[in-house]
Amino acid sequence: MKIKKKFEPIVSGISAAIVISLLAFLTLETSAGIWIMFSFGATVFLVFVLYDLETAQPKNIFFGHLVAMLIGILFNETVGLSFYSLGLSVGLAVALMVYFKIMHPPAASNPIVALFTDLSFDFIFFPVIVGSLLIILMSYLINNIILKRNYPLRWF
């Protein structure tokens, strides 16, 4: 049964809450490592509200977060925190996401997070890769099974 339009905002919000709660549980209540990062909040908004946009597709989520965080960590490791490293790292991440057609707006904040929190390359696997994959998997399951939506429109 398809969700009625008037209930979609509520169900989308509950779906986002479920995914973020799962990532938070894995981070805070287990020894499984860090599974969550700030930009994932905006990512779940996209996959449950604007799920039909190109920016909400799995390729964009995964590679957008990966490229942007790599840029942020590279700047952190080489230049360090400064007004110009913040600006240049975000600008480069945005340019690369556009160039490689992996645009994911929430990921544009990743270099800022990497620089302000002094992240290293360990952060790439947990939470960037594993967290992104969990969001994609949960989005697929919730959108298709519960919300009866066709998600994703394309994988690659």
Burial code (b: 16+ CB inside 10 Å, e: under 16) for 15-25 equals: bbeebbeebee
Residues 127-143 have pLDDT tens digits of 999 999 999 999 999 99
User: Does 103 have pLDDT greater than 90?
Assistant: yes
Q: pTM, whole model, 2 decimals?
A: 0.95
Q: Classify residue 28 as exposed, middle or buried by CB count within 10 Å of its CB (0-12, 13-18, 19+).
A: exposed
Residue 11, classed as helix, strand or coil, is: helix
Give the number of residues written for the chain. Answer: 156
Per the listing, tokens 């790439």 go with: 124
pLDDT tens figures, 57-97: 999 999 999 999 999 999 999 999 999 999 999 999 999 99
